[in-house]
Amino acid sequence: MEFVAEIVISALLVMAGLFGLVGSFGLLRLPDTMTRLHAPTKATTLGVGGVLVASMIYFWVFNGLVSWQELLITMFLLLTAPITANFIAKSYLHLNRGTEKLPAAQDCREWATYAEAERAVEPVMTGAPGQDGPNA
């Protein structure tokens, strides 16, 4: 049992390390900011996920206690990674205003990053479903 667990844990750690390495390598070799942004979001999913699963199995088999804190780490990572990526993308859009060719949004609206403050449009999203905007 312990031998099998050791093999599984090692395999998970090696796989996680490889994905972390590929993520960092991608950061080096991809051509520009937006493509490079894809690399770190990868390393956090399978790379960190593999280490966390390995840690759970280790504490469960060798210390006899189930450790759930790894789930919490996963949850916080899943919450924070998209927000960081979003903000990096937004500052990239600001820095490259006019040079980057963006597709048009629905109803000819501006993208929020480029919208002028004085003619900001009230969002049509509603919290209460069922009483939506005109298109619903």
- Of the candidate residues 7, 78, 96, 97, the single one contacting other proteins (CB under 8 A): 78
How many residues does this entry show for the chain?
136
Asked if 18 and 6 touch (Cβ cutoff 8 Å), the reply is no
What is the rounded distance in angstroms from the CA atom of residue 56 to the CA atom of residue 71? 9
- Of the candidate residues 90, 95, 96, 97, the single one contacting other proteins (CB under 8 A): 90
Rank residues 2 and 107 by Cβ distance to other proteins and give the closer one: 107
What is the rounded distance in angstroms from the CA atom of residue 50 to the CA atom of residue 15? 7
- Contact between 17 and other proteins per CB under 8 A: no
Which residue in the block uniquely carries the two structure tokens 């991608």? 26
Which residue in the block uniquely carries the two structure tokens 């031998």? 3
- Contact between 4 and other proteins per CB under 8 A: no
DSSP classification of residue 107:
G
Residue 3: CB minimum distance to other proteins, A: 26
C-alpha distances out from residue 95 to 37, 90, 110, Å: 15, 9, 17
- Contact between 61 and other proteins per CB under 8 A: no
- Contact between 55 and other proteins per CB under 8 A: no
Q: Could you list the residues that contact other proteins (CB under 8 A)?
A: 19, 22-23, 25-26, 29-32, 34-35, 37-39, 41-42, 45-46, 67-69, 71-72, 75, 78-79, 81-82, 85-86, 89-90, 92-93, 100-107, 109-113, 115, 120-129, 132-133, 136
